[in-house]
Structure 1
Amino acid sequence: MNKWFGLLLLSAAVGALPLAGMAQSTASTLPNTASSKRVVYYDQTIYNGSSSQASNYVSLSPLWDVANINPNTQKPYVTDVIVGAFHLGAQSDGTSLHLNDNPPSDAIFNVLWKDVGTLQGKGVNVLAMLGGAAQGSYASLFDQNGNLTTYYDTLKQALQTYGLNGIDLDIEESVSLANIETLITQLRKDFGSDFIITFAPVAAALQGDTDPFSGFNYLDLYNDQSANISWFNVQFYSGFGSLSSSTDYSSIVKAGFPANKVVAGMLSNSNNGSGFVSITTVKKTVTSLLKTYPDFGGVDAWEYYNANPGGTAKPALWGTTFGQLMNP
């Protein structure tokens, strides 16, 4: 997700994934199916510290704390959590899928998958983010003829094993439009109409220009695959757009993308990248966008663990703040 390259260097690599520890999607509450005004968190800093000790785990439990439950729906204000970053590719250790620096089956993620299951049980969708700044996942997915490789089977198995509701395709490497459409078609075939498929382009890529990272045109993609794309988690930061005003968002709608499929992505903390805009300013921008677009797509935060205004002490406050703003 991050376009700034001072973050963790994430390796790409899991072999067979065990069913133990799997986050079952047998939710007691139906998933949140909001078609607009979504509240989305990216959860990449799963452990906030130099080691994966229990004391460093960034719990998702505040998201379902009573203070962060919408009294009108009795569900958390957050609608979606995107766990990342997943990376595909052959590694020297013989594995082929990693979540950040470890296979998703690693014991350090047991508590994460438990939290994922609890969130789903409370009506929150949980997606896997594939790709990001560490390149190679999308190159691994396709052979020279544009056919899906066995790495797709690894990805498919992981999505099934951990009972995830969807996938966020964060493409920051060169890939053809045809190959991405092949991937979308296969995902829809394998997981059905309820499976969520989102993308995470920079704002500039939806304003009529070719995406500077993937090399394809997102409007062409949307025109071909509109029925299969759930929404776009658009990055309005790192010099590719801003939420300091409504201008960049409105230009995307004018380019041909419906407002209900454009989620405004922000840095939730100035430490998370370049182009940070204060939460106070973004609230004013979102208020303006809500007046212009009643079906405003919503907001997303990069990322959860230190999200303002609560910071590391109360990261769920960001979601409640924007949830209340959009759904008073």
Structure 2
Amino acid sequence: MPPPPLPPRPKTPRIILYHQTHYTSSKEYISILPLLTENTGTTHVILAAIHLNNPPGNIHLNETPPDDAIFETLWDEVLVLQDSGIKVLGMLGGAARGSFERLDGSEQSFEAYYCPLRDMVHKHKLDGLDLDVEEEMSLEGIIRLIDRLKADFGQEFLVTLAPVATGLINQRHLSGFDYQMLEVLRGGVIDWYNVQFYCGWGSMADPQCYDLIMAMGWPPEKVVAGVVTNAANGSGWVGIDVLVVVFMELVQKYPGFGGVMGWEYFNAMPGGLGRPWEWAENMANAMAMGRAW
């Protein structure tokens, strides 16, 4: 049986923000609505981070069950963004280990952990899942998970992965499996890769690291360039003025450039805590200027 056709790609580069810090240190809720109301050009928001804990069904969004009252406003805002065309995904995994180990076992174990995750995604009407595998996982295990998500939610359900940049050029990385082999076997149903060009795994201070990935044969429309949005969010922060120039060049150099991802929203520069949406505005302007260059 031939692989399913590639999903349609956006006409403009994606502008993606992860949203993990939902409250400030003083317990003030951080609204994501300005990403819509300020006309920032944001295309996707990824809620972080979903963790599968023991026993099966013990799911947390960060440190709290996703149905807790603390998330009521967040879920309401998610619906507003979705109604206006911004896709909202959940991020599974990340730096906290265990979720993918629990999904990489026997069929019985997989079903026990996967089914509550499926039900949570369905209940909160997420548009997709971002699989941030930062622990050892088998190639067979990640394929089983991807296949099951597409089977249960349909081909329109977004499935993305979040490798570090070295993972796309067969150097040391965090996930265990071979990303190039995964792309060969399941590239037709993987929508794109949110690639981490920071924390020593790559850099967006210039185009060289992205160019190297392109030289390996990766399609530009599937390689989203991920950066930290504030020096406090991880090493390898690159100032907004430099990023604008680099992304203008990448948009001009690679037709179909996949876009840019930022970790994370709440304190994104240059606006910081008061106006974090300005990061997305700057990225949208860079994409537009690159196309007009």
| C-alpha distance in 2 between matches for 1:109 and 1:235 | 27
For 1:42, the aligned partner's letter is Y
Kept in 2, the 8 Å contact 1:37–1:327? The answer is no
The match for 1:58 among 23, 30, 33 is: 30
Identity of aligned residues (%): 41
> Structure 2, unaligned stretches of length 5 or more?
1-7
| C-alpha distance in 2 between matches for 1:305 and 1:234 | 20
Identify the residue that residue 241 of structure 1 maps to in structure 2: 202
| C-alpha distance in 1 between matches for 2:88 and 2:59 | 18
Q: Which whole-Å deviations, capped at 9, do the CAs of 1:232-283 have from their partners, x for residues lacking one?
A: 0000000000001101011111112100000000000000011111111111
1:134 matched to 2:96? The reply is yes
Shift of 1:212: 2.3
1:18-57 aligned within 5 A: 34=10, 36-49=12-25, 53=27, 56-57=28-29
1:166-315 aligned within 5 A: 166-209=128-171, 212-315=173-276
| C-alpha distance in 1 between matches for 2:183 and 2:57 | 34
Kept in 2, the 8 Å contact 1:58–1:305? The answer is yes
1:83 matched to 2:59? The reply is no
| C-alpha distance in 2 between matches for 1:298 and 1:212 | 22
| C-alpha distance in 2 between matches for 1:115 and 1:237 | 29
For 1:116, the aligned partner's letter is V
1:165 matched to 2:113? The reply is no
| C-alpha distance in 2 between matches for 1:95 and 1:220 | 31
| C-alpha distance in 1 between matches for 2:75 and 2:213 | 35
1:96 matched to 2:58? The reply is yes
| C-alpha distance in 1 between matches for 2:167 and 2:12 | 21
> Structure 1, unaligned stretches of length 5 or more?
1-31, 70-75
1:7-26 aligned within 5 A: none
Kept in 1, the 8 Å contact 2:220–2:256? The answer is yes
Identify the residue that residue 112 of structure 1 maps to in structure 2: 74
Kept in 1, the 8 Å contact 2:57–2:117? The answer is no
| C-alpha distance in 1 between matches for 2:20 and 2:195 | 17
Identify the residue that residue 25 of structure 1 maps to in structure 2: none
For 1:62, the aligned partner's letter is P
Q: TM-score, normalised by structure 2?
A: 0.92
Q: Which whole-Å deviations, capped at 9, do the CAs of 1:210-244 have from their partners, x for residues lacking one?
A: x5212111010011111110000000000000001
Label 1:237 to 1:249 Cα distance change in 2 as closer, same or farther (>3 A): same
| C-alpha distance in 1 between matches for 2:220 and 2:251 | 10
Identify the residue that residue 118 of structure 2 maps to in structure 1: 156
Kept in 2, the 8 Å contact 1:143–1:149? The answer is no
| C-alpha distance in 1 between matches for 2:137 and 2:108 | 10
| C-alpha distance in 2 between matches for 1:223 and 1:63 | 35
Provide the aligned length of Structure 1 versus Structure 2: 282
Label 1:147 to 1:179 Cα distance change in 2 as closer, same or farther (>3 A): farther
The SS at the match of 2:135 is coil
Shift of 1:35: 5.5
Label 1:35 to 1:251 Cα distance change in 2 as closer, same or farther (>3 A): farther
| C-alpha distance in 1 between matches for 2:9 and 2:175 | 29
Shift of 1:149: 2.8
Q: Which whole-Å deviations, capped at 9, do the CAs of 1:186-217 have from their partners, x for residues lacking one?
A: 111001010000000000111233x5212111
Label 1:119 to 1:38 Cα distance change in 2 as closer, same or farther (>3 A): same
Q: TM-score, normalised by structure 1?
A: 0.83
RMSD of aligned alpha carbons: 1.7
Identify the residue that residue 122 of structure 1 maps to in structure 2: 84
The SS at the match of 1:81 is strand
| C-alpha distance in 2 between matches for 1:202 and 1:212 | 6
Shift of 1:33: 6.3
Q: Which whole-Å deviations, capped at 9, do the CAs of 1:52-75 have from their partners, x for residues lacking one?
A: x4xx1100111122xx32xxxxxx
